[in-house]
Structure 1
Amino acid sequence: MHTKLLFMDAFIQNNRVPNIIQLMSYHPDYLDCFLKTQHYLLHEDGPLPFDYRHYIAIMACGRHQCSYLIKLQAQEFLLHGGNADWLKGIDYIPQKLKDFLEINKILAHRPWLITKEHVEKLITGKNRWSLSELTHAIILCTHFHALSTFVFGCGLNDEIDFANGHTFSPSYVDDNDNYSSDSSNDNCDINNNNIVLFQSKDDEGSLRALMARMKELSEKKEEEELTVEERLKEFAKVESLSAEIATSQKIPSPSADVLRYVEDPTFAYTDFATRESVMEIPSFRANEYSWEEHGFSLANRLYSDIGSLLDDKFNMAYNLTYYTMGDNTQVDTSSFRKAIWSYIHTMYGIRHDDYKYGEVNQLLERNLKAYIKTVTCYPERLTKKDYDGVMREFKHSEKVHVNLMLLEARLQAELLYALRAIMKYMT
């Protein structure tokens, strides 16, 4: 009954129950938080006009070539009275929105580069933004950057009424296990309204080995704490190993329908560990600026209630558990969930002083790290082979949960950099 009510809410919000909502319904408690947050961002009272909100969402999705979300938001943009000429591309939009393109680009790929000067430029420019408008816009674009990773991570199909929409999917894998369609979303099958993810293969022993490592770590919790130097070394090791993990170099060519919304399409993620100005851009220490102590309150201050909604969503994705792993029950998955969250933050240069980063290398095997890195940083490059190669004994709902954590951890990482820049501008 809970899921049915959520579908009714989704239909009221979107004039449909999109495939992405159906997929999230594996986890109704999370879906509830998600719908409340997205509805607040797009449809309730806020600093930005409704056409701006949906267009910023389109620009954000363009950074990762997510045509699925672009199509959904373009429909919403027109329904809310948006100027159809804007859908011809960024050459046709107001200068105020053009001025936001740089921040959108940086946040999508290298959020550690954002500074208070970027904020000041928009706040004091000719087509100036208010701090509340800018906060609203930043949260919108980070929301849709992260949502794009979920779409690709789960391989969502287009809606049935879209140009490439279909009920029965044709063969979608070529000889190189890459997508054979120009659509970025031909990686699951929608059959009689049931979402079916990529089918996975058995991998005897891998889940058992993971659970053994988790148990071993839980038994070591009472051991002597690591020194600050030891924790720094562990973080640096995880960071450098992440930079060594290769992802697919075959970059899909974006269609003209996507490129029209993108400025500087070649700008992409680069490993934080290989940044040029190590002294100028140190690791982001979460104990000095954290979501709980700083970002939450600043977001609420500049855009009423959004911090609370985001906080509920972060906590739901992070703490969600059914105490299962594959066919195993009564499993404490907290160390695995924390390792995934921490690894994503590491790729964005965010260090938590109270976390033992050695657990990342113990709990996340290399191909799972490669999958996480691809989905989080280069989602448009994901292939069916990437998906099939990880978490082979996990249930589909568990894979969806992992992708929800990737979504939320990335979103939080982007927001931490953006909100810290706003705070520095204000002070």
Structure 2
Amino acid sequence: MSFSADSNSPNPFHMCNICQKVIRKKDKGVRVPRPFSSGPSAFIPKEEIVEASQVDPLTEQLLAEAYSPSGHVDHLTQVMGLHPHYLESFLHSQFYLLRMDGPLPLHCRHFIAIMAAARHQCSFLVSLHVREFYRMGVCLDWLKGLQYVPQRLRNLNEINKLLAHRPWLITKEHIQNLVKTGEHSWSLAELVHAVVILAHFHALASFVFGSGINPQVDTQNTNGFQAVYISNYCTCDLASDHHLDRDLSSSSPESSALLCVFQTTDSVSELEALMDRMKRLQEEREEDEASQEEMATRFEKEKKESLLVGSGELEDEVMPTSKVSQFVEDATFGYQDFARRGEDNPPTFRAQDYSWEDHGFSLVNRLYSDIGLLLDDKFRTACDLTYYNMASHEDVDTTMLRRALFNYVHCMYGIRYDDYDYGEVNQLLERSLKVYIKTVTCYPERTTRRMYDSYWRQFRHSEKVHVNLLLMEARMQAELLYALRAITRYMT
């Protein structure tokens, strides 16, 4: 959020059933949504991204050449470039994680990144790190699937899936199983390095899908991976709704024309109402502070209400088989709400008992030198980033809104801050935004253009990208808190 061809040529983009139906509908003269968007993002107009990069193109290019795994300004870098101050912090920390001195060999780092991205079927990130394998020219058999990698790496599968989908289930026993497995054991330093990579790429997959990052075409086709692993990737999965197939099969010309019409509420009024709520909440906060008991009650209420927020019938829908599935074990294991209906739920994770600032930072920095400093800078940059704008309004303090976004993600993960009034979340985050947040954070591969377009319709695209930065960092920090707490308990 800116708070502030030739028919014989190989086609890297597989035409799915939805696209085939789109073409058939077009042949019949029926108006249908455009399934593909050119440029870095399927959600954001190419012109807006290009215009932003022209402000300081040299800096962006130098950053990408110095720090990006691809060595150039790829689609992900271009979209993040809408916020150059954050981009610098992100690329610096990612470069250190993947390329600088550390406990793990370089090729193992990239394979762990592949394992993490594959949990969310993120072909964009998987292909990026497969190219790194071909560049290094080592252990290429690993790219055939998990059965070809050493058992030591395969042992990460359990913690990988838990971190990606239900991090609150991670216990000290999971840590013990990894560091005390004989010849396949991990040192604590190696494990911390691996955990940070896993959390980084789970969260980055959320940003990729949440921002509609388009596939990166490998024009040189240097390794053949793109044709194999992105051949079944269809850009309409990002650009439109997953139920478009169903809609098109029964649509008339009139109903097709309505597919792109969302809510009829005046978006200008929505913006003004949000501004009024922020002002009122600030005044109430100054006049009367809620008691600790009341704040705890409001957290529990918000946590339970998050059960009602989701992507509807998609929650019970089986996602299509991915072409990166050879890097995934137990593919049916996915996200479940922290607070399950009618079940004994894990206890709330109280930030005062184990926080990033007081506990996680020092542990990770001790076991993996300097990464704590880089992560802390990245977290702070995303949370503090502001241009004092909100859509058409200037000189706006958006601190309250930014904190609501960050804390809502942690609330869904069962993490509570005693000094935060969770009543503000319901006041500031409309339902369509909550649906988007939960989808991007918990099952990002299901994110659609419709979800992206449905909230904050008066806001700039750069402001929505800032939302995705906050969601990404909140998710990564939540994963790290659960994993590092388990490591601390194992050590003590």
**Equivalent in 257, 260, 267 of residue 323 of structure 2:** 257
Distance in structure 2 (CA, Å) of the matches to 1:145 and 1:391:
25
Write the distance in 2 (CA, Å) between the matches of 1:175 and 1:245. Answer: 18
- Return closer, same or farther for 1:178/1:246 CA change in 2, 3 Å cut-off: farther
5 Å-filtered alignment, 1:29-108, equals: 29-108=85-164
Asked if 1:9 corresponds to 2:60, the answer is no
CA shift for structure 1 position 275: 7.2
State the distance in 1 between where 2:373 and 2:341 align: 33
Residue identity opposite 1:325 in structure 2:
M
Q: Which has the larger Rg?
A: 2
- TM-superposed CA distance for 1:79, in Å, is 1.6
Within the candidate set 140, 150, 156, 2:207 is matched to: 150
Asked if 1:285 corresponds to 2:345, the answer is: no
Q: Is the 8 A contact 2:408 2:425 kept in 1?
A: yes
**Deviation of the 1:218 alpha carbon:** 1.2
TM-score of the pair, normalised by structure 2: 0.79
* TM-score normalised by length of structure 1: 0.90
The one-letter amino acid paired with 1:341 is F
Assess if the C-alpha contact under 8 Å between 2:242 and 2:446 holds in 1: no
Cross-structure match for 1:297: 362
Match of 1:134 among 162, 171, 191: 191
CA distance in 2, matches of 1:272, 1:170: 31
Alignment root-mean-square deviation, CA: 2.3
**3-state SS of the aligned residue for 2:339?**
helix
How far does residue 81 in structure 1 lie from its aligned partner after superposition? 3.3
CA contact (8 A) 1:179 1:384 kept: no
Q: Percent identity?
A: 53
In structure 2, the partner of 1:269 is 335
Residues of 2 paired with 1:295 and 1:277: CA distance? 29
Q: Which residue number in structure 2 is paired with residue 116 of structure 1?
A: 172
The answer to whether 1:353 aligns with 2:418 is yes
> Which residue of structure 1 lines up, in the alignment, with residue 217 of structure 2?
160
Gaps of 5+ in 2: 1-54, 219-225, 248-259
8 Å Cα contact 1:178/1:383 also seen in 2: no
Q: Distance in 1 between matches of 2:170 and 2:145?
A: 25
Matching of residue 419 in structure 1 with residue 419 in structure 2: no
In structure 2, how many angstroms separate the alpha carbons of the residues matched to 1:199 and 1:275?
34
TM-superposed CA distance for 1:160, in Å, is: 2.7
Q: Which amino acid aligns with 1:257?
A: K
Cα 1:178/1:106, change in 2 over 3 Å:
farther
Structure 1: gaps of 5 or more residues? 181-197
Deviations 1:297-328 (A, max 9, x none): 10100000000000000000011000111111
**Separation in structure 2 between the aligned mates of residue 48 and residue 33 of structure 1, nearest angstrom:** 22
User: What per-residue deviation string (whole Å, max 9, x for no partner) do you get for residues 35-56 of structure 1?
Assistant: 1000000000000001110000
Q: CA deviation at 1:83?
A: 1.2
Please list the CA deviations of residues 118-152 of structure 1 after superposition, one character each: whole Å capped at 9, or x if unmatched.
00111010201000000000000000000000000
What is the aligned residue count? 406
Corresponding position: 1:229 with 2:293: yes
Contact 2:121 2:322 in 1 (8 A): no
Answer 1 or 2: higher relative contact order, Cα 8 Å, separation at least 6: 2
Distance 1:200 1:56, change over 3 A: farther
- Counterpart residue number, 2:77: 21
Counterpart residue number, 1:210:
274
Mapping of residues 159-178 of structure 1, within 5 Å: 159-161=216-218, 162-163=226-227, 173=240, 176-177=243-244
CA-to-aligned-CA distance 1:185-232 (integer Å, 9 cap, x gap): xxxxxxxxxxxxx99997221111111100111112222322221111
Q: Secondary structure at the match of 1:374?
A: helix
Where does residue 48 of structure 2 map in the other structure? Answer: none
Per-residue deviation, 1:7: 2.1
